[in-house]
């Protein structure tokens, strides 16, 4: 019997197990109730008393060897199965957050402006941010050394001839040079002014210019266009106020104000009582406007006797602040995700 056990020990060691089926065969043959080892334990009764001890020990050794092999092979096969199937699913783990970006509020408002004007027949024109003095100033009827040039603190690039555009009005000039009336376009874009950064001003900001040139365009058309725009963007009760003003390239000229309380003129909802935006007046200036100056039309080869036009330029930051009740313009450029996440569009 001892020889048989020794033979079986060798057999167990040599038994090749490379899959589940072989593992099961191994179990059935050696470990199961009807397996070889159990049968040998039964046979132990018939062994002469003096050999019982040593045969018993050998038999236990055989049993342990079989069990050990079963255990280690089971673990080995499980590990291999897991590795090939990837990580096991743990349904108790918290979900991985789906981090979607959001569209910047300025971009959202920019797109909305394009949409509102698009519906009333304005297309979108673009122009460069690095501009010549001619397109930014001279063609717009800013005479040399005229104090109006100092209304806009300019960043010059190359002497006094090349500069960062101080407004989007440069695109008016470029457009009127390449296209004859009728012209009906808006021109959103980034502009630069050498100003101290505060809650109300920044050295880099955005404007949207509008230009309509055709026969018989009047100031009434300008007013109605901007009334329509304000009501579409801010709601039907929004108040718009035109204040006489001066720009070299428009005559007459008017500043455009929006009620700070939006639908409650005279109230100060946007500033929240701090008055740091409307200065307590209840009105916020969002841009300038007017009838295109005859000199500007002439500078671009358009006959002012035949055509008239209106133009406006508005600050996109200001408009966005009004729309979303944002009290500090610096928030737009700080990239604070807690601020930006509030403008989820989905």
Asked if 250 interacts with ligand PHE (CB under 6 A), we say yes
Select the span of 54-62, 96-104, 116-124, 288-296 touching ligand PHE (CB under 6 A). Answer: 288-296
Q: Which is nearer to ligand PHE, 141 or 238 (CB)?
A: 141
Residue 123 beta carbon to ligand PHE: minimum distance, rounded to whole angstroms? 17
Q: Is 288 in the site for ligand PHE (CB under 6 A)?
A: yes
Site string for ligand PHE, 204-233 (x = CB under 6 A): -----x------------------------
**Applying CB under 6 A, which of residues 154, 289, 299, 320 lies at the interface with ligand PHE?**
289
174 binds ligand PHE (CB under 6 A): no
Q: Which of 312, 316, 318, 321 binds ligand PHE (CB under 6 A)?
A: 312
Quote the CA–CA distance of 310 and 183 in Å, as a whole number.
10
Asked if residue 247 binds ligand PHE (CB under 6 A), the reply is yes
**Dihedral, CA of residue 262, residue 166, residue 168 and residue 206, to nearest 10:** -40
Beta bridge partners of 211: 185, 311
Token pair 């009827």 in the structure block, residue: 141
Per CB under 6 A, does 311 bind ligand PHE? yes
- Tokens standing for residue 274: 């701090």
**Contact predicate 4/37, CB 8 Å:** no
CA-nearest of 211, 191, 187 to 297 is 211
- What does the block give as tokens for 254? 């008017």
Is 313 one of the binding residues for ligand PHE (CB under 6 A)? yes
Instruction: Catalogue the E-assigned strands of the chain.
Output: 123-124, 130-132, 156-158, 162-164, 183-192, 204-214, 240-247, 250-259, 283-292, 308-315
169 binds ligand PHE (CB under 6 A): yes
Q: Which stretch binds ligand PHE (CB under 6 A): 19-27, 104-112, 278-286, 308-316?
A: 308-316
* Cα(106)–Cα(205) distance, integer angstroms: 10
Q: Give the footprint of ligand PHE on this chain (CB under 6 A).
A: 167, 169, 209, 247, 250, 287-290, 311-313
């Amino acid at each position: 019997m001892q020889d048989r056990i020794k033979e079986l020990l060798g057999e167990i060691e040599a038994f090749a197990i490379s899959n589940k089926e072989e593992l099961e065969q191994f179990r059935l043959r050696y470990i199961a109730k009807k397996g070889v080892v159990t049968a040998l334990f039964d046979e132990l009764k018939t062994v002469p008393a003096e050999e019982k001890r040593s045969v018993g020990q050998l038999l236990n050794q055989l049993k342990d060897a079989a069990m050990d092999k079963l255990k280690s092979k089971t673990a080995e096969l499980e590990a291999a199965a897991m590795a090939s199937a990837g990580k096991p699913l743990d349904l108790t783990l918290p979900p991985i957050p789906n981090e979607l970006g959001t569209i910047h509020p300025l971009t959202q408002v920019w797109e909305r402006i394009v949409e509102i004007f698009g519906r009333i027949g304005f297309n979108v024109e673009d122009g460069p941010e690095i501009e010549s003095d001619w397109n930014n100033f001279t063609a717009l009827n800013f005479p040399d050394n005229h104090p109006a040039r100092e209304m806009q603190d300019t960043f010059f690039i190359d002497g006094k001839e090349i500069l960062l555009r101080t407004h989007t009005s440069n695109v008016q000039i470029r457009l009127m040079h390449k296209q004859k009336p009728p012209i009906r376009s808006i021109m959103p874009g980034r502009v630069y002014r050498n100003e101290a950064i505060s809650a109300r001003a920044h050295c880099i900001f955005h404007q949207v210019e509008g230009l309509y040139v055709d026969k018989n365009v009047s100031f009434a058309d300008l007013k109605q266009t901007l009334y329509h725009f304000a009501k579409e963007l801010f709601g039907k009760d929004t108040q718009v106020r035109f204040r006489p003003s001066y720009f070299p390239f428009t005559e007459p000229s008017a500043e455009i104000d929006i009620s700070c309380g939006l639908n409650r003129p005279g109230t100060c909802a946007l500033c929240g009582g701090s008055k740091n935006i409307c200065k307590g007046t209840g009105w916020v200036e969002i841009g300038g406007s007017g009838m295109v100056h005859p000199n500007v039309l002439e500078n671009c080869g358009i006959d002012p006797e035949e055509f008239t036009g209106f133009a406006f330029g508005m600050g996109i930051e200001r408009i966005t602040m009004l729309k979303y009740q944002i009290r500090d313009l610096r928030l737009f450029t700080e990239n604070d995700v807690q601020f930006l996440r509030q403008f989820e569009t989905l």
